[in-house]
Amino acid sequence: MTVYVALLRAVNVSGTGALPMTELKAICEGLGFSDAQTYIQSGNALFRSDEPEDVAAEKLDTALGKKFGKRPGVMVRTTEELEEIAAKAPFPEARPNFLFVHFLPETAPAGALEQMVAPDGEEAVVAGREIYVHYPIGSGKSKLKLPALKAGTSRNLNTVRKLAELARAME
């Protein structure tokens, strides 16, 4: 069985898209995923499955769509993919909580950074299904505009590293 990490888009601690992590775990188990667990209240689930990555993502997104009335978007990565994403993070001078990995459902489109407006000195690098963004003043204060990020979900480098570590421990 493969260990997967599911990164949910548009899942919040409260308000629109609120999903208790105990409920996310139960949904994963109901789909037949084994050893399901969650990490922090921001839509991260780890589980084992014999399904291919795209099938696991589709099943979870469909199940969440039934709950919310709209599919939130689910990006799934393997342990090895997460480890590589963390290891290849650009901007070595960036504080890990100011360096975000934006996970996309598919490979970033050609010219993904062409429409970027970065008034606060943000820098971005496209790497396949991920876009790394360094937010020098923090993502909460940033006025960055980058349309290519809309379809995905983001986690800071600290979270990506922790998810990779948790996934490796499940191997």
Q: What does the pLDDT read at residue 150?
A: 94
Residue that wins the pLDDT comparison between 67 and 128: 128
Contact 68, 11 (CB under 8 A): no
**Hey, how many other C-beta atoms are within 10 angstroms of the C-beta on 50?**
11
pTM: 0.94
**What is the rounded average pLDDT for all residues in the chain?**
94
Helix axes 79-87, 157-170, angle to 10 degrees: 140
| Amino acid type, 37 | Q
For residue 16, pLDDT beyond 70: no
Backbone dihedral region of 93: left (phi > 0), alpha (psi from -120 to 50 degrees) or beta? Answer: alpha
Query: Over the stretch 77-127, which tens digit does the pLDDT of each residue have?
Result: 999 999 999 999 999 999 999 999 999 999 999 999 999 999 999 999 999
Pairing of the two strands 99-103 and 74-78: unpaired
User: How far is it, in rounded angstroms, from Cα 61 to Cα 104?
Assistant: 14
Please tell me what DSSP assigns to residue 91: -
pLDDT band of 15, cuts 50, 70, 90: low
Residues 6+ apart with CB under 8 A from 160: 82, 85, 86, 89, 101
Query: Over the stretch 37-63, which tens digit does the pLDDT of each residue have?
Result: 999 988 999 999 999 999 999 999 999
- Report the SS3 class of residue 88: coil
